[in-house]
Structure formats: C-alpha cells, structure tokens
Amino acid sequence: MSKDRPENDNFDWYKDAVIYQIHIRSFFDGNGDGIGDLQGLIQKLDYLKFLGINAIWLMPFYPSPLKDEGYDIADYTRINPIYGSLGDFKKFLKEAHQRNIKVITELVINHTSSAHPWFQKSRAAKPGSYWRNFYTWSDDASEYAEARIIFRDFETSNWTWDPLAKAYYWHRFYSHQPDLNYDNPNVQKEVFKIVDFWMNLGVDGLRLDAIPYLFQREGTNCENLPETHAFLKKLSAHVNKKFSGRFLLAEANQWPDEAVKYFGQGDECQMAFHFPLMPRMYMAIKMEDRFPLIDIIEQTPAIPDNCQWAIFLRNHDELTLEMVTDEERDYMYRMYAQDQQMRINLGIRRRLAPLMEGDRRRIELLNALLFSLPGTPIIYYGDEIGMGDNIYLGDRNGVRTPMQWSGDLNAGFSKATPQKLYTPVIIDPEYNYQAVNVELQLQNSHSLLWWMKRTIEVRNSYPVFSRGSIEFLTAENPKLLAFYRAYEDQCLLVLCNLSKTIQTTFLDLSNFENYNLLEVFGKNQFPPIQKTPYFFVLPAYGFLWLELQKPQSIISEENKAEEIEINKNLAELFEGKTRRKLETVLEHYIINRRWYRSKNHKIAKLSIYDFILVLKKPSPVYLLLVLIEFRDKEAEKYSLFITPEENHHEISQTGNQKVICSLKQDNQSPAYLVDAAHIPSLWNALFNLFGSNRQIKGSKGVLSILPNRGYKKRLLSESNFQKEPINAEQSNTSIRYNAALFKLYRRFETGINPEVEITELLTKKSNFRLPRILSQLQYKDQGKPVTLAIIQEHIPNEGDAWAYSLNHLGNLLEEGNSDSLLFPSVELPWHKRVTVPEAVYHRLGVYSRAVEMLAEKTAAMHIALAQASNQDDFKQENFSWFDQRSLYQSLRSIISKAKKHLNAFKSELEPELYKTLQDKLAGNALITSIQSVLDKRLYGKKIRCHGDFHLGQILYTGDDFIIIDYEGEPNRPLSERKIKRSPLKDIAGMLRSFHYAVYTISEGRQKDLAFKPFSPENLYAWICQLYLNTYLRHEAILSLLPADENDLLLLLKIFMMEKVFYEIEYEINNRPHWVHVPCKGLIALLE
C-alpha cells in the first residue's frame, strides 16, 4: 500500500463515491502559462472537498500529441510537461488522500498514439518480430469486415496503410491511434507493468478506456469477445492480489446485456458505465414520459454484489447516442441538437445547462435522477455551477473551456494574458463567466452550486442511494416517475415530475401502512401511510425524496439489544454500514443523557459530523462531533469521547449508563463502547494531552489544544493527588483531576464560548477571584472556531451555594421553635423595598451573612464586567427604548408559549394550583399588566452578564463564595448568550434560585412544620429583601440601573416574570416533577 493512501479503506468504497471528472488542462492554471496543471488542481482541492465529492476522475495527462485530447498516449509512465511533473502528481495524490478524496486515472490500453515508441519500433520492425507483434498488422484491409467504424465522421476504414511498414495497421478509433495486439503475451505483460506503476504510486482506481475492442476475430463484430473477458479476469486477479481497496472501471459503450458481462462473476471490472441509461434521462424529460427510463432499467440484468454501475449525464464531454435506436437518435438530434455544429460522431457535444436551455428546474431534476438512480454518479467539472459551452470551437473543445472561478480576468482560471489561454473562456451573454462563476455562487446560498452541495450531502448521508435495490411503482400518470430504493433498514421513495406543468397522482403504498414519510431535505413530516392510496402533487419538473420511517413500536423492538461488530480496530466504526449502526446506537444513548437538551423534539436524523483520534494509548480515544437534525427546530451539535473498554470492573464502577453499546471483535474478549469521559483509567492520558499544544486533524476540521503557561505545573502542584467525576445534574460533563477541572461542553455551537471570553477578561482586568482557564480544546471547521472544552483551575470548596443554602435553611427549620420561625409578613422587594430588621437577621442566623456575601460577590462581578470598557464585546451600552420594546415583546411571546404548555400539562398539576394559575392567566390581563414597561422611558446600562446566575453557580470555600460557570444559559444560542443585558437579569436569576431553595426545604419537611407557625413565603421575601438591599449599596451598581427606584423595581419585576416563565417551560420539558415550584413563584409575582 502506498504511504500516501488513507488506511482502513472499505474494499467497495467506490459504491459510495460521488465522482468529479476533471480535465487538468481546463481546471486551474497554477503557473500562469494559460494551461491548467497539477499545481493548480492541488490549490482547488479544498473547493472539491467543500462540494462534497469524494473521488476525482482525471482525464489523460500523459505525454501525447493531443490529437484526441490525450487519449492518444505516447508514454504511459510520465506526466505531460504542460501539466507538471511526476513529483507534482505525487503531491496531488497525497493532498487528495489527506482530504479523503480518492483518485481515479485513465488507462487507455486499447490503443496508443502513433507517436508512441512502441509503434515507431513496430512499423520499422520485420514481420513476426518482437516489436512488430505489439500491434495488429495485415496485408489485407478487408479483414474483420463486420467490425463497425466508430468515428464515421472522420474515418472510412478500421485499417490504415503505413508506408514504412508496407502494411495496414488496425485501429478502432482514429487512424493516429493504432490498436495494441492483445494476442501477444508481451503486450499483456507491459500493460500489467503500467498498472503496477500507477497503483504503487497510490492511485485508487483505473478507468479502462475502450475496453470492448481489445481482441479481433474474423466473423465477429470484434467487440465483447470471450478473449477480452479472459484478459480482464487476469488483470483483475493481478490487481486484487497486489493492491487492496482498488477498482477497475470499464468503459464499455454497450447495451446492458453486453455491458453487464464486464463484471464477470465479480472477477473482472468492479464498475462499468451504464451508457444506455444516460440518453433516456433526456428523452424522458423531453417526451414527458417515464417509459424510456423504466424500460432500460428493467432491461438491465442484476450484477454481482461487489460491483456497481457508473452513471452520468454525459460521457464526460459528449451526450453519446450509440446505445439508442436510429429513431431515438433522430429524436434526440431534433430535440437537443438542431444545429449541425452541436453534433459529433454519434453524439451531441453540449454541456448540461445549454441542453436544458438554462432551465434551473430541469437541471435540478436531471441531477436528482443522477443521484437517486442505482449507481455511482459522475459530475463533469463546471456542471455544478451551470457552465455553458462554445459550439464554435473545434472537436470537443467547446465543452472543455476553462473552469469559471470568478468574474476576474480569464474567469479566474489563469493569470496569463488571454491570448495565451489554450481555449477562450465563455463570453456568451447567458453563460458569461462574469455571471456564472464559483465566487458569485458561493456568496448566494440559493445558487445552483449550493443546491448541488446540499444534494450531495443528503445523498452521502443515505447509503440506500448508493447501495440499494430499486422497485418501480405504477402511477396512473405517465408523466410521473416513482420508485423505491431499499437497503438494509433504509427505504426511500423517489418521485419525479417529468413534465413542464404541475402533476398529481395516487400511489398505492399500503405495504408500508403506518410508516411515516419524511422529506429528506427540509425534514418535513408527511402524514402517515394508510391502506388507501396516497395522494401526491408535484410542481413542474419537481421531485421528492421521502424516507419511509418505521413506526416507533417497531423501532423499539429492534433496538433492545445493540451490538456493533468490527474486525480489527476502532476506526472501522466510521465506515459504511458500521458507521450507520453507530449513529443509530448513538441516538439511543444521547437522548437518554441529562445533557441532551431537546427531549421533547422528534429527531429526524443523527449523523457523525466529524471524528478525531485524540489518543492512541493506553486505549484509542476518538472525539465525536455529532449532528442531530430535528423535524421541528434547528439542528444541534454534541460532543463526546468514545473508547473501547474490556474491564468489566471499570464498567461496574462507572455505571452501565455510560455504556453506548457492546463491541464484538474478532478473536477478542467482549468489550463495550463507552463514553471515555467516565473512564478514570484514561484521565492521566487525557489531561497530559490537554497540555500538549498541538493540532489534530479530523475528517472535516482541525482540533487545536491551547494550554496556558504553567498548565502542567498547576496540574501537578498538589501532593494530595485526586481525580473524580463531578456527577451533579448539569448540561456539561466535568472531571476533577488534581488541581484542575475538565469541562466538556456537550452541546456546542460555532464561536468562542462566553465562559472563555469572560473568564479571560476578568482574570486580566480585575482582582475578581474566579477559576482561571488552564487549557482549551478548540475545533475549527472552514476557519470558524468552536470551543469544545476547557481545563480550569480547581478551587478547593465545600460545595456550592445551593447545597450551603439547603443545609443552613434546613437547620433553621429543624432547630427553630415557634418564635424563631415566625418571620413577620413583608412584601416582596420588587413591590416595595424595606429595611431588614434585627429580628429577621437573628432568625436567619449565619445565613443572613451568607446572603449578604452573595450579594457583595454579585455586585463585584457586575462592577468588574462594567469596567471592561476597552473591548467592544464588553463595553457598556445605554438601556434604550428599543430594549424596552424588545423586553416587552420577548416576555409577551414567552407568556403565550408557557400558557399553551401549561394547558397541555394541566393533568400533571395539583387541581388547586392549576385553578389558581388559570385565574391569574385568564384573558389578556397579564399581557396588559406587562405593558407598564412601555409606559415611560427607563434608563440604565447594559453590560455582559453571567447569564445563568443561580446558587448552583457559586462555590463555598469555607470562608468565601466564588462565582463560576460563565457560559450563560446553555439552552440558549451562543450569540444570544453574548447579548448585553441589564444586570438586573442576573439578580432575577438569583432571587428565583432562593425561591427554589426555600420551597425545596419546606416541602421536604412538611410533616415537621405542620405544627409550627412557619411561612415559606415570608422567609423567601426577607431573603430577597436582604440580598437586594446589600447589592444596591454600591454606587457603581446604582450607576448601571434606573435612578428612580420605582423604575428599578418595575424592571426587576419584568425580569423576574421572564425568568419564572422560562423556568416553567424548562421544567415541563426536563423535570416535570419540579414545575409546581415556578408556578407558585408566578402566583407570588402576580399577587
């Protein structure tokens, strides 16, 4: 295996390929001489990766007189100097393989150029000699008279007289392309050497040009002879023995029953072009009738399991019409090539877009057929942007014009003067390079280029397209084509409207009764299938790809026992059907995790977005980035580390809930695939990795590890070495490792996490105490950074302020007598602020000091954030009228949603509580009441805030409180978490947290308190009064808030209301048994 080839190839990877065909000369000029070259191609590999293709087919690049665009080869083992050197080709191979792009090259072995040294030696050699027998010579030009002349436009015979040899030589194509003599074993040996040369370099596949014509026999048409198939078996066996994961592609322009023979029994070519299918796609659209397509596919025999058809929209540069009847050919000429200059040989030399008269709908429909019919699709360069052609250029040059990269000089193809270009760029008004180019279409998400990219992505995510069977459905309307594609547990329904007008039909789908139909692009759910025929409406040239999804009851039964089988190593998890099974079990695992956010939303699809090998020892550990698409909301991305674990004791210690699935490996003991963040034996290696300051490439992006100075020193600073998971109910996963704390952001978005931004700012700009960041894991895809995880300083503590509050409030209730629990009645502070009397201080005991300390810490945090005036992201802004209006609209929307959810949830609430809520929320009284925020102008400042401020975000060290977790509310989008707010929003969060604490303690001790005069409402109100009074002592805080106290309290009440409605939504979706707490808080707010 070449060192430049990717490891762990599937042997039949070609089945899942999307191939992009390139003429090097036409793609990109890297050295400014007016001709495309290998250096230019290397520069454009990232574009091809972006497009989503995973294989490149290079047209011939060998030394050649170029009388037939390089198919007249003069040397099989060198590179034509106009394209570069062999070193350039090796570099291209390496760069392509690094991007997981395969490379397919041409092997034109039927014939050579007449300029090839072999032919020159042959024509000069004596009859019967070694070199003479390399080609087929005769004194009689009437031999093999039944062989057709393929290029009738240019040749009148398959024999040409050579004056030096004084004999005729045989050629099936142009007279300057003499055919090799495959009856000569020496020729076959030389061909094997050529194959070895290119495959040793790392080429992944070879297209065997003109393969049906290798042998000649009198009395036959000299095509598809048994000797040809015998030779192909020898060649295939040779390749399979010496090289793994390679394939041979037969260019056999034959009817299906002949073309299928080039597969043999799976022991000849692994792929073959399906030539008759191509013209019938065009015929079906022009005739508005599905018959030509169904007819040819039903004529196509079954093929061996290891084989695949290659399908295409033109035979690279020609819509060839060899495999049609004379009548069909005449029809195609009349419909698509009335101008004689558009025709060549038995075909049409036009690009896709001009053939479709620039009609975007028909272009999309033809590509949809290309991507959904059985076979591996091939895209001709430039078709993804709808390039035009120039029929006035000779031969096939009209469809080989320079790739249109931009509207700059020479379409961005070359920096050479335009006169040096090998052929002019397209300046036709409709397809002018200034209007049709990559740069423009990249900027327009509705362009054909983006449509092609998205369609390729969808196709790549459904193996059924590349590997599935096909079954046509009978629709009464012949203008509609409908068929199933089925593979393993996937089934897709494809519908295509071949007409220029809207069409309807009924389809009998009763075999899939109760199945759901999911449109694969928008993830829109169609009504379930019933016994009665299903009604479809398709717009002109429209198509539908619908996934048939099993009812949930069937899925549940199938998913009871999950096991994945791999042969050698963990990397196999990301290949083919094993990857699809992993995605299935990941869905089951993720939806049952606490950190999964969207439990009330139906998943349309889960896919592995990227995978990165971060550790090889002691066990391989991969970082997985998982994309989850939903039917009713925007997609989400999640991260997790996975590793195999054979230690059953370790599993039992960490808990089976960390097990993703069972792993079955050849000749190895059973193992589990587990969430590696929960395997303590790996933590040493992981924490060392986070100090390594390195980059690791994934399948799509790059993971950067960014340690700060002193990372390792801090990590190893404590003599009391400790490591432990932090099992609190959280949205992230945290692990304490000695003096450091690892935090993995399970759900991530593009951008730097606010926790990183705020922590780094507060560390540099103030004396405010908080855990410093020691290292970061940052992922980049297409240059955009994503914070995946951080390593923080671990601050020794006795727990968080939530646990502290529950403990001290619990003690207060347990130890208190009738007098000490008798808190006087008081209004909540957003109604009216009062001074806290000494008696309340006394009854609260040490907790009163804790509340004051918490308020002081809150004020210090806000003051530090407000003083960061030299950074635009943190510079304070005025609270404007627009902000007031925005706050009103936001609250109005939240109230409406919460009311709907509460109505749907009423059966879970205590009847008395629900009735009180109904009374409070009836009519529009509540909406009317919040309009008070618009009654007058409110002043103040906006700053970057904590964003998710509550008692659980504060550590208690024994003598101090430390605020942590500056990432904001994890359920909100990253951009929303960075919006500047009034600091009162954080205050509302803390006041609501006090409410949760008081009610948690009082409800847990209802029996103990039954005979004590205790009011949790009064206790809560005094805690809020104390906290708010302490916070507002600071002049720097008052400068951020409305100067008028009534305005300040109004704004606080609005934020409280916003928070409590958010809590109701959150609890219904995540912790239904807690929903009564914010409901009671809402009632108190509305009193």
Instruction: Give the pLDDT confidence of 106-163 residue by residue, as tens digits.
Output: 999 999 999 999 999 999 999 999 999 999 999 999 999 999 888 887 889 999 999 9
* Residue pair 582/565 in contact by the 8 Å Cβ criterion: no
Do the domain assignments include residue 323?
Answer: yes
* CA distances to 287, 500, 794, 923 from 284, in Å: 5, 12, 68, 60
Q: How far is CA 304 from the centre of its chain?
A: 32
Pairing of strands 659-665, 671-675: antiparallel
The number of folded domains in the chain is 5
Residues 39 and 60 in one domain: yes
DSSP 427: -
- Quote the CA–CA distance of 217 and 208 in Å, as a whole number: 21
Higher-confidence residue: 89 or 976? 89
Mean pLDDT of the chain: 88
Per residue, the 3-state secondary structure of 233-293, as one string, reads HHHHHHHHHHCCCCEEEECCCCCHHHHHHHHCCCCCCCEEECCCHHHHHHHHHHHCCCHHH
- 214-218, 412-416, 811-815: range with lowest mean pLDDT: 811-815
Look at residue 370 in the predicted model and tell me its pLDDT. Answer: 97
Per-residue pLDDT of 608-653, as tens digits, reads 999 999 998 888 999 999 999 887 778 899 999 998 887 655 554 4
- Shared domain check, 1061 and 912: yes
- Give pLDDT, residue 557: 43
Query: What's the pLDDT score for residue 554?
Result: 46
Of the listed ranges 598-612, 659-673, 977-991, 1023-1037, the least confidently predicted one is: 659-673
State the DSSP code for 674: E
Q: Estimate to the nearest angstrom the gap between the alpha carbon of 561 and the chain centroid.
A: 28
Please tell me which residue, 749 or 561, carries the higher pLDDT value. Answer: 749
Which one is catalytic: 251, 610, 1017, 1067?
A: 251
The answer to whether the beta carbons of residues 495 and 544 sit under 8 Å apart is yes
- Which comes out higher in pLDDT, residue 905 or 503? 503
Report whether pLDDT(284) > 80: yes
Residue 821, pLDDT score? 67
pLDDT, average across residues 455-466? 93
Residue 358 CA: distances (Å) to CA of 288, 339, 385, 499 = 18, 17, 11, 16
Judge whether 981 lies within some domain.
Answer: no
Residue 559 pLDDT: 45
714 & 638 share domain: yes
In this prediction, residues 172-180 reach a mean pLDDT of 95
Out of 209, 389, 547, 636, pick the active-site residue. Answer: 209
Residues 475-495, mean pLDDT to the nearest whole number: 94
d(CA 1039, CA 1060): 27
Q: Are residues 85 and 153 in the same domain?
A: no
Mean pLDDT of 753-774: 88
- Using DSSP, state whether 708 is helix, strand or coil: coil
- Judge if 145 and 269 occupy the same domain: no
Question: What's the confidence (pLDDT) of residue 818?
Answer: 53
Q: Looking at residue 650, what is its pLDDT?
A: 54
Mean pLDDT to the nearest integer, 415-424: 94
- The CA R_g of the chain, rounded to the nearest whole Å, is 36
What CA–CA distances, in Å, run from 147 to 121, 199, 223?
27, 33, 8
Q: Per-residue confidence at 716, pLDDT binned at 50, 70, 90?
A: low
* Within a domain: 1017: no
pLDDT value, residue 244: 87
- On whether both 612 and 755 belong to a single domain, the answer is yes
CATH code where residue 48 lies:
3.20.20.80
Pair 409, 484 in one domain:
no
Which residues are CB-neighbours of 851 under 8 A, at least 6 positions away? 844, 1023, 1026, 1027, 1030
Q: What is the pLDDT of residue 656?
A: 52
Whose CA is closest to 665, among 679, 652, 646?
Answer: 646
Pairing of strands 671-675, 102-107: unpaired
Cβ contacts of residue 100 below 8 Å, gap of 6+?
Answer: 6, 54, 699
970 vs 540, which has greater pLDDT?
540
Q: What is the pLDDT of residues 557-577, one digit of tens each?
A: 444 446 788 877 788 888 878
| Residue 1086 near residue 1053 (C-beta atoms within 8 A) | no
Confidence of residue 2 (pLDDT cuts 50, 70, 90): very low
- Cα first-last separation, the chain: 77
Last residue of a domain, one of 555, 582, 613: 555
Condensed to tens digits (0 to 9), the pLDDT of residues 224-262 reads 999 999 999 999 999 999 998 899 999 998 889 889 999
Q: Residue 8: what pLDDT?
A: 39
User: Do 673 and 581 fall within a single domain?
Assistant: yes
Compute the half-sphere exposure of residue 99: CA atoms within 13 Å on the CB side of its CA: 23
Whether the upstream peptide bond of residue 63 has omega within 30° of 0, thus cis, is no
Nearest CA to 162 among 187, 133, 139?
A: 139
Query: Is 1011 a residue whose pLDDT tops 70?
Result: no
The three-state (H, E, C) secondary structure of 61-101, written as one string = CCCCCCCCCCCCCCCCCCCCCCCCCHHHHHHHHHHHHHCCC
Q: Are residues 505 and 604 in the same domain?
A: no
Establish if 448 belongs to a structural domain. yes
Length of the chain: 1087
Residue 136: CATH number of its domain: 3.90.400.10
DSSP string, 102-121: EEEEEE--SB--TTSHHHHH
Q: Would you state the pLDDT for residue 617?
A: 83
Residue 687 included in any domain: yes
Model confidence at 888: pLDDT above 70: yes
- 563 part of the active site: no
Q: Dihedral through CA 223, CA 226, CA 229, CA 235, nearest 10?
A: -110
Contacts of 26 (CB under 8 A, 6+ apart): 36, 381, 400, 401, 402, 403, 422
**pLDDT tens profile 773-800:** 999 999 998 788 999 999 998 888 899 9
C-alpha 1076/C-alpha 909 separation (Å) is 7
User: Has residue 817 got a pLDDT over 60?
Assistant: no
**Residue 216, token pair as written in the block:** 């000649």
Query: What Å distances lie between residue 25 and 58, 403, 599, 710, 971, CA to CA?
Result: 10, 10, 53, 53, 51
User: 443-447, 575-579, 999-1003, 1008-1012: which range is least confident on average?
Assistant: 1008-1012
- CB contact at 8 A, 320 and 347: yes
SS3 call for 474: coil
Is 1014 or 131 the better-scoring residue by pLDDT?
131
Contacts of 826 (CB under 8 A, 6+ apart): 834, 1018, 1021, 1022, 1025
472 and 404 both lie in a single domain = no
151 and 191 belong to one structural domain: no
Q: How far is it, in rounded angstroms, from Cα 759 to Cα 1057?
A: 29
pLDDT surpassing 70 at residue 824 = yes
Percent of the chain with pLDDT strictly greater than 90: 59
| SS percent in the chain: helix, strand, coil, step 5 | 40, 20, 40
Give the span between the Cα atoms of 795 and 956, in whole angstroms.
10
Active site residue 814: no
With respect to residue 871, please indicate whether it lies within any of the assigned structural domains.
no
Residue 598 predicted with pLDDT over 50: yes
| Residue span of the structural domain in which 894 resides | 880-937+1046-1087
Evaluate whether residue 674 is within a structural domain: yes
Give the per-residue pLDDT at 924.
72
Report the 10 Å Cβ neighbour count for 364. Answer: 18
Question: In angstroms, what CA-CA distances link 959 with 748, 803, 846, 860?
Answer: 35, 15, 12, 17
Tokens 């991969």: give the residue: 622
pLDDT band at 1008 (very low <50, low <70, confident <90, very high): low
| Residue 832 forms part of a structural domain | no
pTM confidence score = 0.67
Backbone phi, psi, residue 806, to 5°: -60, -40
Residues 98 and 131 in one domain: no
> Of 185-199, 678-692, 931-945, which gets the smallest average pLDDT?
678-692
Q: What percent of the chain has pLDDT over 70?
A: 92
